[in-house]
């Protein structure tokens, strides 16, 4: 019962990942849209790792949560700065 409900949760998260991928690869979505959906995709992946570590009764996967979170945040910040200004790292020091 317990394991079946956890598998059901994993299936629902997989469905929402499929929905986000469908929205990313649609032709009419803009670049900001894709960045936003990649961000939410990585958060759904964090949830899947957490449910999987409950299902397998192990604490070995919990570093992956931190790692995916940090990578998602850095990638989102870099891509949104690129969309906004055209470059990511500022080189001018005297302004």
Contacting positions for other proteins (CB under 8 A) = 2, 5-6, 9, 12-13, 15-16, 19-20, 22-23, 30, 32-33, 35-37, 39-40, 43-44, 46-47, 50-51, 53-54, 57, 59, 62-63, 65-66, 69-70, 72-73, 76-77, 80-81, 83-87, 91-94
Q: What angle do CA 54, 1, 48 make, to 5 degrees?
A: 30
Query: At closest approach, how far in Å is the CB of 41 from other proteins?
Result: 9
Which CB, 2 or 27, lies closer to other proteins? 2
Q: Where are the alpha helices (DSSP H) in 1-95?
A: 2-24, 31-55, 62-85
Q: What is the Cα–Cα distance from 24 to 45, expressed in whole angstroms?
A: 16
- Measured from the Cβ of residue 20, the count of other Cβ atoms closer than 10 Å reads 19
Query: At closest approach, how far in Å is the CB of 78 from other proteins?
Result: 10
Which CB, 22 or 25, lies closer to other proteins? 22
Q: Which of 48, 47, 26 is nearest to 37 (CA)?
A: 26
Query: At closest approach, how far in Å is the CB of 27 from other proteins?
Result: 15
């Amino acid at each position: 019962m317990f394991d079946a409900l956890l598998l059901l949760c994993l299936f629902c998260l997989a469905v929402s990942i499929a929905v986000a991928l469908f929205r990313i690869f649609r032709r009419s979505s803009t670049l900001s849209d894709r960045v936003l959906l990649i961000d939410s995709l990585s958060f759904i992946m964090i949830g899947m790792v957490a449910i999987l570590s409950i299902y397998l009764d192990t604490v070995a996967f919990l570093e992956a949560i931190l790692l995916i979170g940090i990578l998602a945040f850095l990638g989102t910040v870099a891509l949104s700065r690129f969309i906004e200004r055209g470059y990511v790292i500022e080189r001018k020091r005297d302004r």
